[in-house]
Amino acid sequence: MKRLVYLMAIALGLSLTGCVSFTPLGPIGEPLKPAPSTLDRSAEISDVVISAPELDDKVRVAGSRQLTEQISAYVDKSDYFKRIVVFPAKAGEDDVVLKFNLTSLAGKRTMHPAYIPGALVTLTIWIWVDGPIYVDKYDLAGELIIEDRQGKQLARSVEQVKLDKNVGLWNADYLNPRLGGTQLRELIAQLLAGATPQLRTVSKELAAHE
């Protein structure tokens, strides 16, 4: 009887962990690797647009400011362009403008379905050997449009990062107050990798007509 009461107490405590939604806004950190080659152009980063649904205006404004700064630093260190133009400087006639639009920034932490039964059966050993406690679900998506100084679209990419990540007690994300930075960095990396090769194609076409 005492054993049953003990196990029920553990189950009650574990069930209180619940679930929570969050909005990944970085920090995205630095590129994991540099660009395969550097374009002979400078680039200006427009203010990042956050069109993801179900966010209040304060989150959009603060998020846009944070991500514009973070993405500018990321693009600068990625070496896709010879330099990044920062206000009050202006891009030259042959330079480009990068416009990021983040259309989904959904994150949700839920209890792993095996957590309670695993912890009960193993008398909490499950927890200490890093069995999954949470599942962090990410649905991130965005668009990158690259324009010339006259506003003509030169390149466009649309990407999505959608995944479920198991998180145990010893995982770095277990107590991370700013979840999703790694996944958001992956999205930005995919957008750049998808759009920048199109600029090389445009440059070759222009050279062929000269």
Residue in this structure with the two tokens 């107490």, named with its chain if needed = 9
The pLDDT of residue 127 is: 79
Write down the pTM of the prediction: 0.84
Beta carbons within 10 angstroms of residue 202's beta carbon: 16
The helix, strand and coil proportions of the chain, stated in percent and rounded to the nearest 5, come to: 35, 30, 30
Q: What is the mean pLDDT of the chain?
A: 86
| Cβ-proximal residues to 59 (8 Å cutoff; 6+ apart), any chain | 23, 50
Beta carbons within 10 angstroms of residue 64's beta carbon: 17
Report the amino acid identity of residue 156: R
* Residues 73-87, mean pLDDT to the nearest whole number: 92
Pairwise CA distance, residues 99 & 47, whole Å: 7
Q: Which CATH class name applies to 2-209?
A: alpha beta
Task: Tell me the two tokens of residue 96.
Answer: 């480009």
Residue pLDDT, tens place only, 8-21: 443 444 455 567 89
Domain spans, the chain: 2-209
Q: Is the pLDDT of residue 187 over 90?
A: yes
